Amino acid sequence: MCYVKLGAKSLDTSGRGIPFKFYTAYYLSFYSRRRAKTLRDLLEGIKAADKNTLFHHLFHTIRSKHLIPPKYTNDFAHWVGEEVGDEELAAALSDISGAEPATIEDIRREIVEILEPHADDRAGRSEFVFVAMEPVVVETNYVANTLGEFLDMLEVVPGESIVYHFVTRRVLDGTGRNDFSTWLEKNFGLAEVAESLSRIDPLMYNSEEALRGAILKTLRRWLL
């Protein structure tokens, strides 16, 4: 692909003058009062779960606080692989896409399609417990006015802030697009840069730092 770079000398622009204010989010986890003993139960649970519950089980692994081995991208795959012992199905569930424009409903549909033909009475060694989450948003001291400041701050803002703007806002708040792409396009008209960021699949990263690295790499390629 051929990139038209802006170059470091062009990064002091503040575009239309809309600053980017970084927020960060921490998550309260709630018991959802739903458990699964078998693959059939798991399927029914996934069909019935609210978006906050699905979001937790699908996306918490991007945050470095995750409690499952790194070979799985989400809790459903982990349970199927480790507790039920179906490696093939676990791999398929682990391989789902979380990139834009996938909404939580798109991902639910994809999981249901994968799981439905296999959803029988095979049980896990222990139950799958559905957990919902609720973000608590906290403002940070970081506000970027120019593209240069934005790049600098992306390196140093809390990892939780990267996940909040890139994933939580899009998937859970239903904005449809990550905040960084939205700002780059709206404030600077950088549609191609924004589109390039949008192609990053957050489910391919199992820590905030890895996701930050991928975002920075893309932006550097276009902007420096």
Partner 1 sequence: MIEKYAQFVGEDEIDAIVKLAERLQDLSILHVNSTAAGGGVAEILNRMVPLMRELGLRVDWKVIRGDAEFFTATKTFHNALQGTVRDVPSHLYSVYEKWQEINANELDLDYDVVFIHDPQPAGLIKYRKRGKWIWRCHIDLSTPHPEVWAFLKRYVSMYDLAIFHIPEFARDDLEIPQLLIPPSIDPLSPKNKELPPTTVERIVAKFDVDTERPILLQVSRFDWAKDPLGVVEAYRLAKRHVPDLQLVYLGSPAHDDPEGEAVYKKTVEAAGGDRDIHLLMLPPDSHVEVNAFQRAATVVMQKSIREGFGLTVSEALWKSKPVVGGRAGGIKIQVIHGVTGFLATSPRVAAHYVTFLLREKEIREKMGAAGREHVRRNFLITHHLRRYLMAIAYATGRHRR
Q: List residues binding partner 1 (CB under 8 A).
A: 24, 26, 28-31, 33, 35, 64-65, 67-69, 82, 126-127, 129-131, 134, 136-141, 157-158, 160
113 vs 139, which CB is nearer to partner 1?
A: 139
| Nearest one of 186, 183, 194 to 223, comparing CA atoms | 194
CB of 207 to partner 1, least distance (A): 9
CB of 100 to partner 1, least distance (A): 26
Distance of alpha carbon 194 from alpha carbon 214, whole angstroms: 14
CB of 102 to partner 1, least distance (A): 26
68 vs 210, which CB is nearer to partner 1?
A: 68
| Nearest one of 166, 161, 147 to 13, comparing CA atoms | 147
Q: How many CB atoms lie within 10 A of CB 28?
A: 9
207 vs 218, which CB is nearer to partner 1?
A: 207
Alpha helices by DSSP H, listed for the chain, are 39-48, 51-59, 75-78, 87-94, 104-115, 147-156, 159-163, 169-171, 179-188, 191-198, 208-223
114 vs 133, which CB is nearer to partner 1?
A: 133
CB of 52 to partner 1, least distance (A): 13
Backbone angles phi, psi at 190, to 5 degrees: -85, 70
164 vs 188, which CB is nearer to partner 1?
A: 164
Alpha helices by DSSP H, listed for 95-207, are 104-115, 147-156, 159-163, 169-171, 179-188, 191-198
CB of 49 to partner 1, least distance (A): 14
3-state secondary structure of 159: helix
In contact, 219 and 212? CB cutoff 8 Å? no
95 vs 139, which CB is nearer to partner 1?
A: 139
In contact, 171 and 162? CB cutoff 8 Å? no
CB of 135 to partner 1, least distance (A): 9
